[in-house]
Amino acid sequence: MEREHGFSLFELMIVVAIVLIIAVIAIPNLMRAKISANESSAVQTVRQMATAELTYHNSYSSIGFAPDLKSLGGPAVGCSPSPAGACIVDSVVTNGVKSGYLFFAAGFAPGGAPTNTQFVSSAAPMRFNGTGTRNFCIATDDGSVRTVIGSPGGTPAPDVPTCITYPLL
């Protein structure tokens, strides 16, 4: 009796089972790595926005800190610096969405001051537990990165008092 060459159904089922077991182990680790990368990018972008706020303040001292994120950026091509678009951050950051995070930056004039003497730059994950798990911010008060566990449907810290309630990173 001659034996046919190839694999039996049983052997193929074992190989498929092994591949599925490896996938079940690997996919959560891949998701955690992606979230970690997104969070690292978010922290770096929040720092970049805080530095941009300081640069804006030095360049346009009559205004103080930039009133919004759009004022820190400008068009992707042919940017001419002005108070409405200082060309300090790139157009990706200016749009407020990057690496699965939502970004916010604004200057504030507390007590009716003529110039914006405070600012906040902040970030929150677009999909909690999907693109990130933590919110980040930097405020004028100490310039330190602060973080708090986010929540589904969360938004970036909208003001300095909210940001300073976050624990330091």
Write out pLDDT tens, residues 136-147: 999 998 899 999
Asked whether residue 1 is assigned to any structural domain, the reply reads no
Would you say residue 91 lies in a domain? Answer: yes
On the 0-12 / 13-18 / 19+ scale of CB atoms within 10 A, 49 is: buried
Query: How many domains are there within the chain?
Result: 1
User: Which residues have CB under 8 Å from 92's CB, separation 6+?
Assistant: 98
- Among the residue ranges 37-41, 103-107, 113-117, 119-123, the one predicted with the least confidence is 113-117
pLDDT for the residue numbered 7: 80
Of 46-50, 78-82, 164-168, least confident by mean pLDDT is 78-82
Evaluate whether residue 113 is within a structural domain: yes
- One DSSP character per residue, 22-82 reads HHHHHHHHHHHHHHHHHHHHHHHHHHHHHHHHHHHHHH-TTTBS-SSHHHH---SSS---B
Instruction: Give the domain extent around 101.
Output: 10-163
Q: In the predicted model, is pLDDT for residue 115 greater than 90? A: yes
Query: What's the pLDDT band for 8 if we cut at 50, 70, 90?
Result: confident
Q: Is residue 70 part of a domain?
A: yes
Residue 168 belongs to some domain of the structure: no
For 12-22, the pLDDT digits (tens) are: 999 999 999 88
Q: How many percent of the chain have pLDDT more than 70? A: 98
Per-residue pLDDT for 83 more than 80? Answer: yes
For residues 83-110, one letter each, b for 16 or more C-beta atoms within 10 angstroms of the residue's C-beta and e for the rest, the string is eebbbbbbeebbebebbbbbbbbbbbee
3 in a structural domain: no
Q: Is 169 among the domain residues?
A: no
Q: Give this prediction's pTM.
A: 0.85
